[in-house]
Structure 1
Amino acid sequence: MEGDFLKGNSLEVPAPDNRLAKKNQLLDRGQWANKLEFMLAVAGTLVGLGNLWRFPYLCYKNGGGAFLVPYVLFLLTCGIPMFLLETAMGQYTSQGCITCWRHFCPLFEGIGYATQVVIAYAAVSYIVIQAWAFFYLFSSFSAEIPWASCRNTWNTESCVEFDKTNVSSNWTANATTPATEFWERRVLGISQGIEEVGSLRWELALCLLLAWILCYFCVWKGVRSTGKVVYFTATFPYVMLVVLLARGLTLPGAIDGIAFYLYPDPTRLVDPQVWMDAGAQVLFSFGICQGSLTALGSYNQFNNNCYKDTFVLCLVNGLSSFVAGFAIFSVLGFMSHEQGVPISEVAASGPGLAFIAYPRAVAMMPFPQLWSICFFVMVILLGADTQFVSLECLMTSVTDMFPTVFRRAYRRELLLLCLCTVCFFLGLLLVTEGGLYFLQLFDHYVCSGNNLLLLSVCQSIAIGWIYGADRLYDNIEDMIGYRPWPLMKYCWLYVTPGVCLGTFIFSLVKYKPLKFNKTYTYPTWAYALGWCLGLFCVLLIPLWIIFKLTQMKGTISQNLMQLCRPENKKQNTENQPEQCPLNPDNTPTPAATEYKGSGGSEMEMQVACLSPPTPRSNPTFCMPLDSSV
């Protein structure tokens, strides 16, 4: 009876709704599962389409081997030092490329916003190359590769097929190859100029949609999904690159192409465009001033050796670009031998170089359909790696700025869906008949060139001079246990800003308007559009400074001094619960530490006062909401 009475009159506490708690709790920010995932993710984004398409194109445009001289110089003085700087910033703060500036130099937080604008432009434009690759991939599933013959509806009378018995018998001054006509007439349907936007290429639009869907499902779970995808996407392209290089070296005329690639023309070194392209290529291909390195580094363990990683990854990226150049120029040498013209005239310059030279090489291999499929899968994977990181960088920046809003169940996925949808519709302009003109305009004025040089100057000054190069050395020593080579510090202080600023001024003095395919001159409004888009990124830095100064009280000098001081690394208590009276500072207690050690996440530990007291423990303790920041 007593037991029944107690059972019937006991105080029943309803069980918490686990589904509601899971929906409302803050999700963990996440980390790489292991070091290999970080290395593959960074290598995947560095060794991308820039190595396969952009680097050989710039070599070709700037006189072959002459381009390697300024490229190596920029790599040593700007690429490696800035790579370490950005990776260390993310790893030390565990924050994205915007919020990390609050812990170094809040005055220059505008650099973070500027880098996000650059990477947003790149995310919209460079995925179009994946759409082209999908188009070629689907076209490869045919009895005869369509760019291997002139017997197609889109071919003209000027089309001349490759004749193995006499390579130059039918070649005339106005002759074109099947690969060139497939690219210009079948894929692009290219118009006469940027004024003629033309109609939407619906097949390319569907390929673009497919590329965005692929990117969405590879990024939607953050580093937990991206870290697994890169095991394949970052390694398979190397296999195909070696195969294509071996095939290219066996073609007649390949030696001439490689000689053109390696032999520098000293007269081109006085051309400022060569130096600006070299600097921009280093900054772009290494992800400098785009926020990607900071975002990827922010998911590292605090004691990860980012200094050693810098040299390994920079070496991998540089060698990959160099090897890709061999693969491209060996084919260009063969095309020169086939057509009987100089290598400098063998192919039209522009983004289509990889879609003319490489497909022709693939078409001459045994079982061309198989090799074509493998090659364009490689192109898709190279572009996908870079696109994954671009999206992850944008998502990291937004979620770190508003963690209480977006680090909840399903909100990240919805934010990513909105981002991909907006970018897809913006990218439709680039798959019109005049889309290639806009793509080259974005590439020249926004994603490379002057704005990246100026952002590098601002970033090196902000860290090297205002925050302090020695202080950053102390931060790196806290993480890896020793101080980096002193040369890095002097690069941040003097060499990097000096070289980048000098190249920028030199390019302005010798400025030449952009020409498409070395022949087409853009209208004035197009040049104005390009300059406005490029300068907008850089202008975000002074605009941010002005905005912050107008929001603060005190004199300008006092506010500047305050904005130059790093913010304290503590959790923003604006939306946190009240403090417990016996633990007002919300310091971690043994129970909280034990909870975290057993696998609990700090982001999931809500502030709670536990009772009743016991003689051997603190009577009341609080678990902090987040003590990691």
Structure 2
Amino acid sequence: MLFVLGIPLLYMELTLGQYMRRGPVHALASVCPLLKGVGVASVAISFIMCMYYNVVITWALYYLFSSFQAPLPWQNCNNTWNTPNCTTHATNDSSFSSTASQEFFKYRMLEQTAGVHEAGTLRWQLFLILILAWIIIYLCIFKGVKSTGKVVYFTALFPYVILIALLINNVQLPGALNGIIFFIVPEPSVLQVWVNAAAQIFNSIGIGFGSLMAMSSYNSFNNNILKDTLTISIINSLTSILAGFVIFSALGYMSFLQSVPVSKLAVDGPGLVYIVYPQAFANMPVSQLWAVLFFFMLLCLGLDSEFAMVEVMVTSLMDEFHKEVMAIFKRKEFLVLAICIFALLLGIPCVMQVGIYVFQLMDHYTAIVSIMFLAFFEVIAVCWIYGVNRLSANVKEMNGSRPNIFFRVCWFIVAPVLITVILIFSIIQFKPARYEQYVFPPWAQGVGWIVALGSIIWIPVGAIHTLWVLPGTLLEKLKLSITPFALNGKSKMPYYERGGPSDYPGIAVISANSELPEKPPSQTKF
């Protein structure tokens, strides 16, 4: 999935952002006005994700603060929040017992209710930490991508120090090898793993979320896109594999201590990071040190992801409504502050006692369902309607040579076909959202689909709007709607922070090659 989907689509998005010098909304509107809604949808999905994703940073901060005590609060069952069924060791039958780590997560930090139908009350500790998380985000990004880049030097590199230190420690523990073997030996009978692999590549690299286009729009026009593509994708996947060795070596150690198969310990979702791994720390020497390092690493990784998602919203608003935004907020810093406060308020349900269910519901329908639809329409817009020839001409104009045959074949055939197959398979094999053993009721599933539609709906809305505003008969409208009105990356640079003109003329026309029109219809603005 990395080589046939991840790398080619990353190359495509970086090319589009760098050449158009715009965020995802204007970049997609330029190459395919009919599917300009894909750009809006990518901004919507990034904003929805940044709204609830910051709760992961909140949990990491909560665990980080809780790690500065001995013994660790999830190390034993002698606490006020523990139940009579609490045990310090996992067993083969978890229906009648729960570990101290599970109970700390559920009953201490979350104080979770029995289901999504019980909202409970606001967890004030988590709410205050959520405010702290947004303050950290704001301070890191309010000065723009240049200051964000400086912060990322630390937040992106420091986790490697901790991962390597954890790996060196973990591989010396008894049973670690069994956990690593469980990690690297595949289960070929599980077809669903291919869909999960594709979803992981999209989420991990950031394809379809608009952040790649937003960030690459700040590149110099002749920046080497292929080098960036290979560097980002390969380092990203190697980091995932490294983290897998770290995690599963610890799970192997837990399996050895408790005589429980690794498969019984290996879980997905928040449970892996906030239940199973903290439980492993409790049995390690110098447990407080490893806990502090691990959760600080999670904080750094979470911040990196959050930076990109918030920047998509900022870049898109500045591209589309620069004059209006500046008239209201006067400075870009105040716009960033307004976005952070708005996302903070929308994220409050995630720090209530019902929060874990809200988080799981939104994550399921946003990170899995919506992103596949977005990727499908983005590939259709760029690879088939805009065309591989035009995209290759853009690369040649910036870097001096066209992409090799591998990328052109992947763009034109492999990626569209593979995403279509995965999308169809995902729909056929779709499973309603659930959290552990709890299955969300039908009304909650309906809310989840509304969340998914919050991003997907912009695709048909954008198409309808384009056809509505274009002149001519329906056939003429359709022809114009698939005619690229791309922006020349060299001569029509955006106005803010990129050294371009102060007045923004809208989507202006360009000439990536002779096939493109000299100018769009004068009465039309996208």
The TM-score with structure 1 as length reference comes to: 0.75
SS at the partner of 1:290? coil
Q: Is the 8 A contact 1:328 1:357 kept in 2?
A: no
- The answer as to 2:455 corresponding to 1:537 is yes
What are the equivalent positions in structure 2 for 1:116-127 lying under 5 Å apart? 116-127=43-54
Aligned partner of 1:151 among 53, 75, 78 = 78
Which residue matches 2:103?
Answer: 181
* 1:437 alignment counterpart: 357
Pairing 1:236-315 to 2, within 5 Å after superposition: 236-269=158-191, 273-315=192-234
Deviation at 1:511, TM superposition (A): 2.8
Residue type of the alignment partner of 2:356: L
Q: Which has the higher contact order (CA 8 A, sep 6+)?
A: 2
Note the C-alpha offset of 1:171: 9.9
Q: Distance in 2 between matches of 1:210 and 1:529?
A: 29
Residue 354 of structure 1 aligns to a residue whose secondary structure is helix
Does the C-alpha gap of structure 1 residues 370 and 508 become closer, same or farther in structure 2, counting only changes over 3 Å?
A: same
What is the CA–CA distance in structure 2 between the aligned matches of 1:173 and 1:107, rounded to whole Å?
53
2:518: which partner in 1?
none
Note if 1:555 corresponds to 2:477. Answer: no
Give identity over the alignment, percent: 41
Match of 1:402 among 315, 321, 346: 321
Structure 2 residue identity aligned to 1:224: K
Q: Which residue of 2 aligns with 1:198?
A: 120
1:66 corresponds to? none
- Find the residue that maps to 2:147 and give its secondary structure: helix
Superposition pairs for residues 332-371 of structure 1, below 5 Å?
332-346=251-265, 349-371=268-290
The alpha carbon displacement at 1:365 in A equals 3.7
CA contact (8 A) 1:201 1:432 kept: yes
Name which one, 1 or 2, has greater alpha-carbon Rg. 1
- The 5 Å alignment of 1:123-142 reads 123-142=50-69
Q: List structure 1 runs of 4+ shifted beyond 4 angstroms.
A: 170-173, 407-410, 599-606
The two structures, once aligned, show a CA RMSD in angstroms of 2.5
Q: Kindly indicate whether residue 138 of structure 2 is the aligned counterpart of residue 216 of structure 1.
A: yes
- Taking structure 1 as reference, are residues 284 and 513 closer, same or farther at Cα in structure 2, changes over 3 Å only? same
For 2:432 and 2:471, the matched residues in 1 are separated by 45
CA drift of 1:347 comes to: 5.4
Aligned residues of 1:110 and 1:541 also touching (Cα < 8 A): yes
Contact 1:123–1:387 (CA under 8 A) maintained in structure 2: yes
Distance 2:243 2:486 in 1: 46
Match of 1:330 among 240, 249, 274: 249
Aligned length: 498
Task: Name the counterpart of 1:578.
Answer: none
Q: Report the Cα offset of residue 531 of structure 1.
A: 2.0
Q: Deviations over 1:551-592 (max 9, x none)?
A: 232111112222222326489xxxxxxxxxxxxxxx99xxxx
Unaligned runs of 5+ in 1: 1-73, 572-586, 589-598, 607-629
What is aligned with 1:38?
none
C-alpha contact 1:474 1:483 (8 A) present in aligned 2: yes
CA distance in 2, matches of 1:191, 1:601: 52
Q: State how far apart, in whole Å, the 1-side matches of 2:166 and 2:30 are.
A: 46
Question: Which residue identity is paired with 1:555?
Answer: T
Aligned to 2:512: none
The 8 Å contact of residues 461 and 493 in structure 1, kept in 2 or not, is answered as no
* Residues 384 and 172 of structure 1: CA distance in aligned 2, closer, same or farther (over 3 Å): closer
Aligned 1:423-434 pairs, distance under 5 A: 423-434=343-354
CA contact (8 A) 1:145 1:369 kept: yes
1:93-118 deviation per Cα after TM superposition (whole angstroms, max 9, x unaligned): 11111111233222211110010111
Q: How does 1:56-95 map to 2 (within 5 A)?
A: 74-95=1-22
The AA in structure 2 aligned to 1:543 is V
Q: Report the Cα offset of residue 195 of structure 1.
A: 0.9
In structure 2, C-alpha distance between the alignment counterparts of 1:500 and 1:253, rounded to whole Å: 39
One-letter amino acid of the structure 1 residue matched with residue 390 of structure 2? R
Q: Give the letter for the 2:335 counterpart.
A: L
Change (3 A) 1:481 1:101: same
Match of 1:480 in 2: 399
Residues 212-265 of structure 1 show CA distances to partners (whole Å, capped at 9, x for unaligned) of: 010011111111211211111111011111111222222222222112111112
Q: Secondary structure at the match of 2:457?
A: helix
CA contact (8 A) 1:171 1:339 kept: no
Give the CA deviation at 1:173: 7.0
Q: Which deviates more, 427-436 or 172-181?
A: 172-181
Cα separation, 2, equivalents of 1:445 and 1:258: 31
